[in-house]
Amino acid sequence: MKFKNILSIALSATMLLSMAGCQQQAEPEPSITSLSLMEEINTKNIIDGSGDMRVWYQVNPSLFTRTDGEPGTLNNVSEYLSYLSDGDMKTIEEDLNLSGILLTNLVNTDDASTTKEFAEINPALGTNEDLAALCQKANSLGMPVMLSLDMTSISPENSQFIALQELINGLQEGEDPMQKDPVLMGEFYVEKDKAEENWVQIGNSPYYYLALPQSTIPRINLDSHVWRQFIITAIEHYFSLGVSGFCVQDYNNLHVNDEQKNADFMKWFDSICKERKPDCINVFQYSSWNDVMGEIPAYAADTASAGAEGMIAKAVTGAISAKDLGNYFESNTNKTQNMTAYFINNDDGSLDLLKSDSRIAQYKMALALELMLNGQVFITAGDELGLTSDQADLIVDAIAMPTTPEEESSASGDLTGAELTGQEASQAASIDLQFGNLAQQKENGNSILNFVIQAIALRDSYRAITEAPTTVSQELSTDTLLVVDRKAENSETVLVFNLSDGSQSVDLSQMQISGLPAELGGVLLTGVQNATIEGQTLTLPPYSMILLK
């Protein structure tokens, strides 16, 4: 019996050891993702950087729609500011680490989306107090707030234009409106018997006003001291609420076919802002360059870089060469005296065509090119999650929707009740986002979100990226490989972008950075193949960016 007991104990012990061994063997190895590979290198190099050259989150408040379908407001944006930044640049796992907010479509407009009054915000989006509260909270998190302004035209509902119509329509025979009210007449472009394209007749009179192309929206004369005073009033009003700067839209159309007047107005506008707020940041968007623009001490954003037809999208899809893109960046740096700004999208088209499973690597590289540029950089709300333009109003759902089966089940169960919160949660749970919601993308090491977070963290860690001019290596850059040198005071990096679906090698034998041999300082990867330096050869995996220091 003793022998059987001993044998039984021995067999039991053997089985336990065997089971333990099987359990150990059954445990899966940690999965390799693009994030895990990026973190191996980037974590050693990411530091608490400077946000002076900022990454701005472009927000149309009306699209921050509540999960119950209620239109978005300024208060909705305020509620989710901690998603954009928690105020600590070291905590990259908790937020996007963004360093500015651009509010668009906030100024009060008519049904044609034309500005009614420069100093009034759309009441449907909130009050002055709501804007002040948003600015106060955003500034406390290190995110100044910029406001978008269109000053090329004014709504026909504007009081000044109504007064102009009343003046013209009330003229007696033989009366000259310029004699009756020269100031009011000087606020608009008004001509007699000007029955030409883009000129609109005022009532049954012989007088016409200049309108925007194919519309009845009146152009305004920005040389008028009346309009300039209205603009000063608006600037002072928004500064008093906590706004930190402005984005001037459609710069080339501020005046009609007069580039010098456009530049003079923009210089005046910037000086008025900086007299009142010396640290304000102003940006103007242009569609064509003229040398007089180089005199403007504000950041210049070329709309040719943005959108589906922009230079960045063309480069990542192979429509233009990587070297041509680099030369374009270098040219912009030089002609703006390093005062550049870049938008990922424009009004004519977003990067929706790249937001697909088959082109996701190209989309990530478009984001990398955008985020690793110098100057002020703007991404549209939802780009960091891959939301398309027709999903722009789902950003709150993507942030707040349930993330686990248990939560989704609970949300669906709540739908049977009359509670609004239950309906909201259920609606959020039912939304199908191609690349997942916020929480799902945080957990996915190959997600767009994690790629963007790594790019912003790297950008903020190197002054050479945010502040230095762009110099293209003509020898190393090719149709699908872009090599740029970024050199600032006490900081130098070389960025290498592989815009192809195959691996590429770069000879580093002649490359020195700050007088030392080049070494890896950061990577942005779209797949699970890492970059390597063996001897004097750098090997880049498909669709990747390597930062050398």
The per-residue pLDDT for range 143-159, each reduced to its tens digit, is 999 999 999 999 999 99
pTM greater than the 0.85 cutoff: yes
Out of 314-328, 423-437, 443-457, pick the least confident: 423-437
- Cα–Cα distance between 325 and 365 in angstroms, integer? 13
Reported confidence tier of residue 68, pLDDT bands at 50, 70, 90: confident
pLDDT of 417 reads 29
Is pLDDT of 48 > 80? no
Is pLDDT of 478 > 60? yes
Q: What residue spans in the chain does CATH classification 2.60.40.1180 cover?
A: 469-548
Q: Which architecture, in CATH terms, is 469-548?
A: Sandwich (2.60)
pLDDT of 49 reads 54
- Per-residue pLDDT, averaged over 396-402, amounts to 84
Reported confidence tier of residue 549, pLDDT bands at 50, 70, 90: very high
CB 463 within 8 A of CB 371: no
Reported confidence tier of residue 22, pLDDT bands at 50, 70, 90: very low
Q: Which residues of 515-547 are buried (b: 16+ CB within 10 A; e: fewer)?
A: eeebebbbbbbbbebbbebeeeebbbbbbbbbb
- Per-residue pLDDT, averaged over 156-177, amounts to 96
Q: For strand 504-507 and strand 491-498, is the pairing parallel, antiparallel, or unpaired?
A: unpaired
Reported confidence tier of residue 510, pLDDT bands at 50, 70, 90: confident
pLDDT of 8 reads 42
CB 46 within 8 A of CB 457: yes
pLDDT of 239 reads 99
pLDDT of 138 reads 97
Query: Would you say domain 55-152+224-401+437-450 falls under CATH 1.20.20.10?
Result: no
CB 368 within 8 A of CB 356: no
